[in-house]
């Protein structure tokens, strides 16, 4: 009687599916060991000893990562020891990164420390289609 009807295919409304996720915060006094995974944004002011696979990772000035980072967007103000693979990487002036960075976009502010290699990720070539002549 008081239930909300489902749409024609029994799935939640499209508006509910597009609702943005709240950012997760790992505070300064927290140390995580293992894998960190999220479809949303993570603010890391604590320490991560392990790999991170997130949509967006913001490493605060007191934050530190020892491991591999895979994300769409990475902003570093703290320390990273390991490889970063992301579409967009920004190293702020207080950043201290030791490791390789694979990226489509990279910005490094004056004062940032980066010891490693930078490799630009090229977009994949468009797929080719074979067209045969009509007989």
At 71 the pLDDT is: 96
Lowest mean pLDDT among 9-13, 59-63, 118-122: 9-13
pLDDT exceeds cutoff 60 at 13: no
Asked if 35 and 18 touch (Cβ cutoff 8 Å), the reply is no
Q: How high is the pLDDT of residue 122?
A: 79
The owner of tokens 């604590």 is: 46
Please classify residue 25 by burial: count the beta carbons closer than 10 Å to its beta carbon, then call 0-12 exposed, 13-18 middle and 19+ buried. Answer: middle
Higher pLDDT, 72 or 13: 72
Q: What is the pLDDT of residues 82-133, one digit of tens each?
A: 999 999 999 999 999 999 999 999 999 999 999 999 999 877 666 556 666 6
Q: Are strands 24-26 and 52-59 parallel, antiparallel or unpaired?
A: unpaired
All residues at 6 or more sequence positions from 29 whose CB lies less than 8 Å from its CB, including other chains: 46
Inter-residue contact 72 to 89 (CB < 8 Å): no
User: CA-CA distance, 56 to 95, in Å (whole number)?
Assistant: 17
Residues of the chain with pLDDT > 90, as a percent, come to 71
Query: How much is the average pLDDT of 2-18?
Result: 52
DSSP code string of 30-75:
-EEES-EEEEEEEEE-SEEES-EEEEEEEE-TT-EEES-EEEEEEE
């Amino acid at each position: 009687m008081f239930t909300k009807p489902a749409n024609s295919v029994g799935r939640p409304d499209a508006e509910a599916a597009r609702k943005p996720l709240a950012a997760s915060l790992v505070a300064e006094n927290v140390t995580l060991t293992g894998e960190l995974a999220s479809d949303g944004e993570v603010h890391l002011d604590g320490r991560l000893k392990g790999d991170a696979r997130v949509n967006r990772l913001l490493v605060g000035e007191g934050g530190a990562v020892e491991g591999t980072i895979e994300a769409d967007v990475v902003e570093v103000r703290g320390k990273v020891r390991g490889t970063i693979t992301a579409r967009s990487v920004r190293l702020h002036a207080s950043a201290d990164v030791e490791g390789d960075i694979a990226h489509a976009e990279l910005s490094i502010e004056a004062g940032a420390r980066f010891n490693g290699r930078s490799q630009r990720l090229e977009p994949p070539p468009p797929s080719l289609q074979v067209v045969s002549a009509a007989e």
